[in-house]
Structure 1
């Protein structure tokens, strides 16, 4: 017999609070009842889960393993409840969408807002991830749809064109390069670079092109957000490399100069990816049609 959800929730609270007494209070049950629930869990799994002491409770190795599974299960149960509530409220369904930072910063919010206005019976759950993470999530059904930068092709996924962006250089207004109206990638390779973390697909492209130019990409600072890149550039810590639309929206407001890279490879296509066996789903098909229509790719 599987453990009940309330007992697992109590166990998680005890582990996080390091106190069974506090966990019992948070669960609105008495301490004796809480102790009984934990004892039943330990009996069911045939191993101690918590070590008791006057200072509170600590996880045993078995308890550490259970905590990971229990948190995942409780998250899934919460999502299940939310999904069922949507059906009870008359919504057609829930779509989980993951998108890369470029799409989230540039076009996607407006496109999704338009879709939601026209389809109030479909609830969107949206999360920002790097493109490689999105592909994995769509494959594993953690996400229904993803928006990525081209370059990641997987046999079990169907890909549809969405929009495009162009990489750009972000420079302090008093920098020597700011006087030039056109900048090529090789022009910035002799300077310290501020860019995104290595998980971003943009970084793989920049590293490849630096090799082609027979130069080194001098990464001085790597951060997680477009705004953080611009902040670092504003502070004089290097030259930034970002998608043009986002850099223009954020950087110009900080007094930075933004120059799009003219190289052909600097223009990147964004793609919508869906598992091939899910393209017939009516809600997914509706969102796919809406996004491709908004982008003018239908």
Structure 2
């Protein structure tokens, strides 16, 4: 007997049934009869060796296994959407898509002008650019989910090929009237102040929270906003202090803020380009890697 193979259609059906809370309504959404949908779901459960749905007179709800499948089904559907988009690009004559993952500082401060210069002369290239924390970039690179990654040098890059991309010191930004007297300040002293920062899920926010936890403390954020422009504007208004890349502090310097070097060794960071696999990237990905290594700040 030929073994049953899980199809993307069955995963889509399962997701539709869970969303609808009913096999009948889920089947209708997928343009299937109730009998056909029920058969497919039963085969799916048999293939996986576990019940996926709790069935009752009030409808259905997923089991723990069903919730796990639903999470993976969503990820697979997103991957398929990316695949279709890339294939459509090939069909329209766009021959290359470079997958580039990077941390917050690279995304906001270093990459935008360089990406513009690189793409301007290469009409046949797309770049799939995504921001993650440095640890998450490393994980994705080790799973070969991207062509190039950019991480801060505080993470372990064993097993990856690295090249210097840019200097990326972190500095403390204060309202001008409360800037400390010395040129530098320890991070531990900053924990006494209220902060302004980026969203909690940003790579920089998670990194700073981890550093604060090493002192047995948390960071008190008065407000979180989406950009360094907004962060430094709020610091200038006297809302709190912030820790930002030195490049952002230089770019956004104004009369209302003061900048101090953070004296902890980890604040003197470098950004590293990293690639995975036994062989270096080829084609357009290799061009981008060399371009970033040569023109990084």
Shorter-chain TM-score: which interval?
Answer: 0.7 to 0.9
* Alpha-carbon separation, structure 1, partners of 2:257 and 2:188: 14
Post-superposition shift, 1:272?
Answer: 0.7
Matches within 5 A, 1:230-269: 230=232, 233=235, 236=238, 238-247=240-249, 249=251, 252=254, 256-261=256-261, 265=265, 266-269=267-270
Partner of 1:49: 52
Aligned residue for 1:219, secondary structure, equals coil
How does 1:46-125 map onto structure 2 within 5 Å?
A: 46-125=49-128
Structure 2 vs 1, CA of residues 138 and 20 (structure 1 numbering), >3 Å: closer, same or farther?
A: same
Q: Which residue of 2 aligns with 1:289?
A: 290
Unaligned runs of 5+ in 2: none
Indicate if the aligned counterparts of 1:193 and 1:218 stay in contact, CA closer than 8 A.
no
Q: Under a length normalisation based on structure 2, what TM-score does the superposition of the two structures give?
A: 0.78
Report the alpha carbon displacement of residue 144 of structure 1 after superposing the two structures with TM. 1.7
Residue 208 of structure 2: aligned partner: 203
Indicate whether 1:3 and 2:6 are aligned: yes
Aligned CA distance change for structure 1 residues 225 and 202 (closer, same or farther; 3 Å): farther
Kindly provide the CA deviation profile for residues 54-76 of structure 1, in whole angstroms up to 9, marking residues without a partner as x.
43320123323322333333333
How far did 1:51 drift?
Answer: 2.4
Structure 2: how far apart are the matches of 1:109 and 1:7? 41
TM-score (norm 1): 0.78
How many residue pairs are counted as aligned between the two chains? 286
For 1:288 and 1:232, locate their aligned partners in 2 and report how far apart those are by CA, in whole Å: 36
Structure 2 residue 156 is the aligned partner of structure 1 residue 146: no
1:220 aligns with 2:225: no
| Alignment CA distance shift 1:219-1:34 (3 Å) | same
Distance 2:42 2:50 in 1: 10
CA spacing shift, 1:119–1:23, aligned 2, 3 Å: farther
Q: RMSD over aligned Cα, in angstroms? A: 3.6
Which residue of 2 is the match for residue 131 of structure 1? 134
* Equivalent-residue separation in structure 2 for 1:41 and 1:123 (angstroms): 37
Match of residue 176 from structure 1: 178
Q: Is 198-207 or 240-249 further displaced after alignment? A: 198-207
Unaligned runs of 5+ in 1: none
| Contact kept? 2:132, 2:203, Cα under 8 Å | no
Describe the SS at the equivalent of 1:106: helix
**C-alpha distance after superposition, 1:166-219 (max 9, x if no partner):** 32222234x4327x6x641149816315256696485389669x98xxxx9773
